Amino acid sequence: MKKLLFLPLVLALAAATAQNTPIHLIPQPVEIQQLTGSFALTKATTIGFDNPAGQTVADMLAQKLNAPTGFALKPQRALKSSIQLNLNSTPNEKLGKEGYTLDAGPKGVVLTANQPAGLFYGMQTLLQLLPKEIESKTPVQANWSIPAVKITDYPRFGWRGIMLDVSRHFFSKEDVKKYIDEIARLKYNTFHWHLTDDNGWRIEIKSLPKLTSVGAWRVARAGRFGERADPKPGEPTTYGGFYTHDDIREVVRYAQERNVTIVPEIDVPGHSMAALAAYPELSCTKNPDTKVNPGTHFADWYGNGTFKMNIENTLNPSDEKVYEFLDKVFTEVAALFPNPYIHVGGDECYKGYWKEDPGCQALMKKLNIRHVEDLQGYFMNRVEGILKAKGKKLLGWDEILEGGISPEATVMSWRGTKGGIEAAQMGHDVVMTPTTFAYLDYTQGDPTVDPPIYAHLRCKKSYSFEPVPDGVDPKYILGGQGNLWTEQVPTLRYAEYMTYPRAWALSEVYWSPKEKKNWEDFVQRMETHFARADAAGINYSRAIYDAIVRTSMKDGKLWLEMEAEVPGLDIYYSTDETMPDDHSAKYSAPVELPEGPITLRVVTYRNGKPIGHLITLSREQLEQRAGR
């Protein structure tokens, strides 16, 4: 009798616990209401779909559930199942193409959408409602329950992208597929594939075989990009790789199954050193010794955005053979990628070699062009004509605005938002991806902790991004994306480290309503996803727990200012050559630092436990920060 009386109490406590457990979803849905109770996932659970178009998502869901639970769930076409996936016969205009509703209760779960993409994104939310153990690839013991909720969700923007640069470092097709799978789970729908640059040509072009036999390979080098030694005469080119047509088709299919559109980038007319290593006759100097660059100091940057190339990396806009070459390239690229866009780069094009070239000067005279910079506009218009003939739209970085482009061209604004604002005001569609918020190759924490690179971007700053600038008509802003350049990113594991959690933050920027953004709330959900990433074997940065250290000079005195990115952290520091802990000086307000050759050491704590990296700065480094 006592056991019978005790059972309802246990069930009541379990229901109360489920009711009180916060729901931590990324990105945050448009509407979410937590209800009473939960749904228990068991081996008797059934998965059904009411329309054959929903079967792919149902199969994916079963596969994802079966691996960690050890169940053998098999989806079936049905009208009523424990977990039911339905497609609206009459579209719900509110949901659009990618929205969904999710109703979960003790009796079951119903996912409803207008199109399979909506079911796919609803599935991602459903999986996040399960405990973190659902991320395991092998069977584990867990309480497989889904809290009772009612969710209505749809994206703010239609373009939600991540760019991966595979030129600087080659990533295998399996790495690329894994990366696509990871971003798709965050409801990103665009994968921008940066396939060519100075450091490697990564896509097979059958009509131009040297692009991969020569352009895909470079000499092996260690050390930081930009500081490596030049290739030696006759040195074997052993580092690199490329994707065959079959590889590309396989990756495109994989992405399509996950509702991800792949946008290929062939970066021209600059960033073409790998192409010129294969076909040097397409440059102005026609230097037969041009090599695929392994990361040497091949350009001098002057700090104001201007630069000089020490090695030619630009196609010759006055040579008709260049356009014949590009026609061959884009013919094959267009056939492999079914999406409407081909990205043609257009960024950081050095025109010094054009200025000295007789053919370019003659072309300028013929076109009545006074400035060599205007040749890029001529080049881009020729490229756009090639793409239009193949049924494709031109997409490029914001430099393509400088020479004049057709109204149909789409602009990616990367040098801040200025280019995007100008493009939108001219009637161009725009993808906002400014360095100041969306460059995932920038360091995340203190530059003395993470391997340094030329700029810095905190997760909180990414989260604060607003893609629609004031005064701009939102209809021209397609959305935004994060960009991961890989000069300093040699492996997928490190690509993950650089991508997350900032891509989690940006996923919410691009998907969730602007009004729902709340950094403190996001931090709690992000920390839950740290545990989920651990279970999934996905790498990420914990730089959000590190102190932000700033200095300034006032009346000849060096002052220290610090803050924490995550609410509730305590910052402790020392300047007396001791290791700081929670008994050291606790930072609360700006501090005047002592004179002399001190070393500042800083560490963060939460609830009496160390949580951030130790940051160590010499007086010289502190003074340098004051001069920034």
Q: Which residues are catalytic?
A: 197, 271, 348
DSSP state of 523: H
Q: Which 3-state string (H, E, C) describes 238-294?
A: CEECCECHHHHHHHHHHHHHCCCEEEEEEEECCCCHHHHHHCHHHCCCCCCCCCCCC
Distance between CA atoms of 316 and 285, rounded to whole angstroms?
9
Give the β-pairing of 145-153 and 585-586. unpaired
- Long-range interactions of 222-229: CB distance < 8 A, separation 24+: 223/295, 224/295, 224/488, 225/168, 225/295, 225/487, 225/488, 226/295, 226/296, 226/297, 226/487, 227/295, 227/296, 227/297, 228/294, 228/295, 228/296, 229/294, 229/296
Distance between CA atoms of 450 and 543, rounded to whole angstroms?
9
Least Cα distance to 315 among 343, 278, 341, 265 occurs for: 278
Distance between CA atoms of 574 and 35, rounded to whole angstroms?
49
Distance between CA atoms of 431 and 261, rounded to whole angstroms?
15
Which single residue is written with the structure tokens 């070393």? 599
The first and second tokens of residue 66, run together, are 């079966």
- Do the beta carbons of residue 236 and residue 167 sit within 8 Å? no
Least Cα distance to 190 among 497, 506, 575, 574 occurs for: 506
Write the single-letter amino acid at 7.
L
Give the β-pairing of 410-413 and 430-432. parallel
- Do the beta carbons of residue 345 and residue 334 sit within 8 Å? no
The first and second tokens of residue 94, run together, are 């509110």
- Do the beta carbons of residue 486 and residue 499 sit within 8 Å? no
